[in-house]
Amino acid sequence: MHVCRYFHDDPLPDALREELEDELYRRLIGHDRSDAAAGKDTGDASPVRLTLRRLLTAADFERYTAGNPRMSERIAHEAVHWTGHRWAAMEAHQDLDAEEAELDRIADEARVEPSVAHDAVKRVAERAAAARGELAEAARAAMTDLPSDPRRARLECNARIGYLVRAWREQVAADRSWRDARALGRAVGSFIREIQAALPGLARAQELVRDALGNDDALWDLSMHEWETLDTRGLDAAATTLGQNPEIERLAQILGRSRAVTHERRVQRVDRMVREHSVGIGKSEVTGVRFGDDLTSLIASETALLSTPETQELFYAKLARRELLILDYRSVDVVEDVRTRRVWTTERVLAERGPIVVCVDTSGSMLGLPEQVAKAIVLALARRVAADRRRVEVIAFASDVRCFTLDHADARLADLATFLHGSFHGGTDLNRALLTALTTLEQSQSEHADVLVVSDFRVPKIADRHVDRIDRQRGRGTLFHTLTVGRAAVHDPLNVFDSSWFFNTTTGRIDPELLTTIK
């Protein structure tokens, strides 16, 4: 059974929702083709599954979704969300609810007075007499007269009531299932028509997003409405700029991965020393012969001396001198003498790196190639989010400041696409951007972060009140970088930036020698 990872707020009953979404997902991803070939497609399938299979087979959009679990999962979720809210507004099951309530009442009456319950059962059975199968059989049995004996009458009435109520409940459940299937079929049918129209565009968006970001995971976190309105032209243009300028990708790699930040910490370690030595534990292994007087270890030739009087004196003489040949035994065990001691040592560990904060100048002076480069560096950093496990905070500044976050757990593809498709205009207010960046770092208490300012300025105008805050962040391991896009490199008289790169708009390149200047 497929388990959806997304939140549901539709009014569908849980069992119906799970069945609906599981069948949709299996059909979309193409799992049920093998079942159909094996003859399992219609065996004991419920009305809901049969209805969905008929609709989805007729739609035939598996060529877009088969083998794509993220896409199939998202479409199945959207279909259930869409269907659930429309299903709630469709026909109610009031008549079926009334029948179940009457069956409950009959079952309760049967426990009190069989004759009263039997009259009610006969009325219900008369309505069920036109049914077929087990329900009709139960109805005919319920309409026959009860035995005259009160005890037998009670037992017979209870049996008939139980039989009829069970058969009737099964019929009500089957009717409810078929009605649900018809209602869901009407709702899902309208969704299928809508998704069929959107799928070609969605498939193209999938290709563009995959080409731009290297994966399309973020696309499937969007809702159906965002799919339709997602403008991928900015992603496509920025990806083209990246392809033409590999130095920008290299710069993103440097910011994301090159600085392996470590720090020292004291840890306690237990040293264990083991010394082995042998101890004798008895006689279990013969290692040779030796001279001695141990009568229990005599060899056979020495014992033979006692067989005749002539040699007995020789035996006793050898015994007195301890020169009898006896077996030499050696049986030892290896014993470990373990001693431990606790020592303190210092080790270097890899520290968690803070976010990359990129401040992008979106003023009117950045129009043209500088704008393309700025968008390309943002896209390059977005590609690094999942690989480097670092959050990217984008601060777009002109006369005002706009911010959004790119995180491996929340890709915010819609915000990224909107930024890349937008146009640059207005004035330049670097101080507001730095204030926002510093506030973001201070609030998150980040360490070992990187701040990159992308602009066309020649001399950055930074307020004195920001310099002290920059120094405090630098004390927490944060590095400040700048990428200047223009005809001349930045002039940094206050030494605000730890590293400076220059994209020459005349040559259309970043100086490759400057790509190793991170301190």
DSSP state of 254: I
With CA atoms as reference, report the closest residue to 435 among 487, 483, 389, 400: 400
CA distance 424 to 360: 10
Sign of CA dihedral 411, 412, 418, 423: negative
Residue where a domain terminates, one of 313, 342, 371: 342
Structure tokens at 456: 């066309």
Domain housing 313: 265-342
Asked if 483 contacts 451 with a C-beta cutoff of 8 angstroms, the reply is: no
CA 500 remoteness from chain centre: 38
Q: Is residue 50 part of a domain?
A: yes
Q: Which residues pair with 417 in a beta bridge?
A: none
> 79: number of CA atoms within 13 Å, CB side?
33
Structure tokens at 519: 């301190």
Asked if 479 contacts 451 with a C-beta cutoff of 8 angstroms, the reply is: yes
> pLDDT tens track of the chain, all 519 residues?
777 766 677 777 777 778 778 877 887 777 654 444 333 444 456 776 777 777 766 666 677 777 777 777 877 777 777 777 776 666 556 677 777 777 777 666 655 565 665 666 666 666 555 555 566 666 666 666 667 777 777 777 777 777 777 777 787 777 777 777 777 777 777 777 777 777 777 777 777 777 777 766 666 666 666 666 777 788 888 888 888 888 888 888 888 754 555 556 666 666 666 565 555 555 667 778 889 888 888 888 888 888 888 888 888 888 888 888 888 876 656 566 666 666 666 666 566 778 899 999 998 888 888 899 999 999 888 888 767 778 889 999 988 888 988 886 555 778 888 888 888 887 778 888 888 999 999 988 888 889 999 988 776 777 777 888 888 888 888 889 889 888 877 777 767 888 888 888 888 777 655 554 444
H runs (alpha helix) in 60-149? 62-65, 69-88, 94-110, 114-128, 134-143
Q: Is residue 98 part of a domain?
A: yes
201: CB partners within 8 A, 6+ apart: 228
Please tell me whether residues 155 and 203 are part of one structural domain.
yes
Please tell me whether residues 365 and 450 are part of one structural domain.
yes
Residues 9-29: pLDDT tens digits? 777 777 777 877 887 788 777
Asked if 314 contacts 305 with a C-beta cutoff of 8 angstroms, the reply is: yes
Please tell me whether residues 285 and 367 are part of one structural domain.
no
Please tell me whether residues 338 and 360 are part of one structural domain.
no
Number of domains in the chain: 3
What CA–CA distances, in Å, run from 22 to 26, 44, 72, 151? 6, 16, 11, 51
Asked if 109 contacts 101 with a C-beta cutoff of 8 angstroms, the reply is: no
Q: Is residue 412 part of a domain?
A: yes
CA distance 113 to 147: 15
Asked if 59 contacts 84 with a C-beta cutoff of 8 angstroms, the reply is: no
Q: Is residue 413 part of a domain?
A: yes
DSSP reduced 3-state for 358: strand
Token pair 């708009």: residue = 505
Q: Is residue 386 part of a domain?
A: yes
Please tell me whether residues 124 and 36 are part of one structural domain.
yes
Q: Which residues pair with 274 in a beta bridge?
A: 338
Residue where a domain terminates, one of 280, 307, 342: 342
Residue where a domain terminates, one of 316, 342, 368: 342
Q: What is the CATH number of the domain that holds 428?
A: 3.40.50.410
Please tell me whether residues 324 and 400 are part of one structural domain.
no
With CA atoms as reference, report the closest residue to 208 among 185, 174, 237, 181: 237
Please tell me whether residues 44 and 173 are part of one structural domain.
yes
Q: Which residues pair with 483 in a beta bridge?
A: 454, 501
Q: Is residue 290 part of a domain?
A: yes
Q: Is residue 245 part of a domain?
A: no
CA 65 remoteness from chain centre: 20
CA distance 124 to 165: 10
DSSP state of 218: G
With CA atoms as reference, report the closest residue to 72 among 81, 82, 62: 62
